[in-house]
Amino acid sequence: MRQLLDFIHNKRKNKQGSMLILVLIIMVVGLILFTSAMMITTETRTRYYQNAKANQARLTVTSVAEAFYQAVYLQEITDEQLEALAAADAQITFNISGSSVAGAAATSNNTTTAKFDSGVVGGSETIIIYFSTTIDSQEENVKMTLTSPDDTDDPNLFQNCVDAGEGADLGQCLIGAGAPAGATDNFVVLRGNSDLAGSGTGRMDSVVVCTGIITGSSGNIYHNDVVFYGSDAGYNIGSGGNGITIAAGEGDCYFVSPDGELGYVFRNSDGSPNTAVSNNYFNFNVDNLVLRNTVYNGYGQNMYNIINGRILSDGGSLNNTVLQYGDMNPGYGNDAGQNWGASSPYNNFVLERNAASSAYVGGNSLMQELANQANEYLNGDLQSSIDAGFPTSAQARTQFGVPSSAPSGSTVITGGQLANGATLTAGNYIINGGSLGASGWSNKDATITCDLATGNYTFYVNGNFSINSGHFEVINGANSDNWVRFILADGVDMNIGQPANMYGNRTTGIISTGTHTGRTQATSGKPHVYIFGASGNTVTMYQYAVVDAYIGVFGSSDNGTEGTVLFNNGPYFYGRITATTIRYVGGTPASIPYCPDPTAEEFTGNIAIRYSEYNVIAFDYYY
């Protein structure tokens, strides 16, 4: 019995021990599970934070890169500033501040930087920017590659309002009026010898740039700078009544030659320097005169030098006796630190720089402005345009092709369409000469309509062509980059309007700006029509003809292939002209108001919207 009781007692004790062991096992398992859960949570949290920081770094570096390019595209950071950063291999750090939440402090473990470099990709000059964002130990990088597409157009094609390859006869012309404030492309470039005489009603609101010999009269009133550019430029002193008159307060006269060359103010009709000018009838009525590497050597009772401001001579020489005659203004006094050895009171407003004087030391702000402007003419866009030269026939052919290259399938314009007009869809057309509309008096208006909403148009003109009692009308050109081109075969002429046009009420010519209708002159917008001729072409515009177009006719008088543009009795022209020679031939003065170039910035009111020339061609993340 006792053994039975001991067995029962021991059984109860073993059961209690088993329960204790079970409880202990459960506690150990629970502790293991709790510890594992804590470790998993900690690891998950760490991984989450690391991923968050990495994602934030990726987001930050991407946002900074995109925001930076947006600033470049809208020219808040200009192309010039961008190029300067690349040229200097610069590095910049972005600091972000905020009014409600503090931004990154740009510490070593919380910063975004950009490194700039330049290189060549696919044969094109590029700018490469390496953006890097660091947040604690996480770093994200992106490489942005920018390139400015090569300009496929000839750099001189319509860069200037008027560009004459071998000079011009513009005595009775009104050029450059209506340019917006700050326009930097309102230039008339006369590359050869030009005649501006007989200009009693002429007016030049453009900057007139001459690279050859100019013959003119004091009646031609300029309302902007007059620039004699290069060592071959000068004024023909051979005929009486010559002179330069610039309206007071509207421009200055510059004679500028590159360093190492020497120009002369006065020249003979054959282009040779005239270094012994005396008592020739010459009127020099300007605010300020700038002589850069140029000799001014004229004097005498009939040399009327009316200089209302100052003369700046830098290089070359200025004959002392030049200043003895005419209406001078000696009220400014000598400029300290300069070397001018004469004692005549007429020299008191002269600043001459030579080897013994520092560059414009002590000169007043006006002198410095004149010096800076002379440097800009010698080293800026004007210098690039002139140094590039006038386009040759070969360059012109490369640029826009020739009629013989009209693609197969081009549509021939029929005689009926020329007689009665037509509405055409975009494509290539051939005009085998003839005329649009009837010649002589007629009230019938043969209109050929080109809708730019359908695409581009090219008219290959294989024979002499006249626009008589009709016109080409270009519609839907607003905010469109599409165009209409007339390509003239070698030796083919184009006449727009006719002397008899004055007897009718019809519109004759080419209307393409969308800013006017009928027989009026456009004054704003950009034409959508181009007239090209590579060799031996003449484009003549007659009274009452309306012409909205960029006209480019090329060639050389050396082989009788010069391209010529003629103004006959005041047509309504709006556009730009690049031609071997340009002439006014009689009647009402020719009017060429300011017109923006084909690639000009958009204008909204008086605000110019400029966009970057750089495009993103690659956006690569790297580690």
Q: Do 232 and 361 fall within a single domain?
A: yes
CA distance 621 to 140: 8
Q: Do 230 and 278 fall within a single domain?
A: yes
169 lies in some domain: no
Residues 6+ apart with CB under 8 A from 353: 312, 313, 314, 315, 338, 339, 359, 360
22 lies in some domain: yes
CA distance 470 to 563: 25
Q: Is the pLDDT of residue 607 over 60?
A: no
Q: Do 212 and 106 fall within a single domain?
A: no
Q: Is the pLDDT of residue 208 over 90?
A: yes
Q: Do 235 and 332 fall within a single domain?
A: yes
With cut-offs at 50, 70 and 90, classify the pLDDT of residue 495: very high
Q: Do 226 and 368 fall within a single domain?
A: yes
138 lies in some domain: yes
Residues 6+ apart with CB under 8 A from 316: 257, 262, 263, 291, 292, 293, 294, 295, 296
10 lies in some domain: no
**First and final CA of the chain: distance in angstroms?**
86
Mean pLDDT of 57-67: 87
Model pTM? 0.70
Q: Do 338 and 487 fall within a single domain?
A: no
Q: Do 340 and 439 fall within a single domain?
A: no
Q: Is the pLDDT of residue 342 over 70?
A: no
Domain boundary among 388, 406, 430: 388
| Type of residue numbered 251 | G
The angle formed by the CA atoms of residues 301, 305 and 307, to the nearest 5 degrees, is 150
Q: Do 359 and 249 fall within a single domain?
A: yes
Provide the pLDDT for residue 565.
Answer: 97
Q: In this structure, are residues 255 and 288 in contact, taking their beta carbons and an 8 Å threshold?
A: no
Range of the domain at 491: 397-598
182 lies in some domain: no
Q: Do 254 and 383 fall within a single domain?
A: yes
142 lies in some domain: yes
DSSP 8-state symbol, 392: P
Q: Do 203 and 317 fall within a single domain?
A: yes
Mean pLDDT of 54-61: 80
Mean pLDDT of 571-594: 93
% of the chain residues with pLDDT over 90: 31
**Per-residue pLDDT reduced to its tens digit, 345-395:** 333 344 444 433 334 444 456 777 888 888 889 888 888 888 888 888 888
Q: Do 64 and 213 fall within a single domain?
A: no
Mean pLDDT of 415-443: 87
174 lies in some domain: no
Mean predicted lDDT score pLDDT of the chain: 78
Residue 442: which of 428, 421, 460 has the closest Cα? 421
Q: Do 260 and 307 fall within a single domain?
A: yes
Give phi and psi for 155, each to the nearest 5. Answer: -60, -20
Q: Is the pLDDT of residue 513 over 60?
A: yes
Provide the pLDDT for residue 480.
Answer: 80
Q: Is the pLDDT of residue 492 over 60?
A: yes
Provide the pLDDT for residue 587.
Answer: 86
The angle formed by the CA atoms of residues 217, 220 and 223, to the nearest 5 degrees, is 145
C-alpha neighbours within 13 Å on the C-beta side of residue 182: 6
Task: List Cα–Cα distances, 519 to 62, 267, 348, 513, in angstroms.
Answer: 55, 44, 55, 13
241 lies in some domain: yes
With cut-offs at 50, 70 and 90, classify the pLDDT of residue 124: low
Task: Indicate if the alpha-carbon torsion angle 156, 479, 150, 460 is positive or negative.
Answer: negative
With cut-offs at 50, 70 and 90, classify the pLDDT of residue 280: low
Highest mean pLDDT among 309-323, 336-350, 361-375: 361-375
Q: How many domains does the chain have?
A: 3
Mean pLDDT of 479-483: 83
Instruction: Please report which helix (H) or strand (E) contains residue 175, including its range.
Output: strand 173-175
Q: Is the pLDDT of residue 154 over 50?
A: no
| Type of residue numbered 146 | L
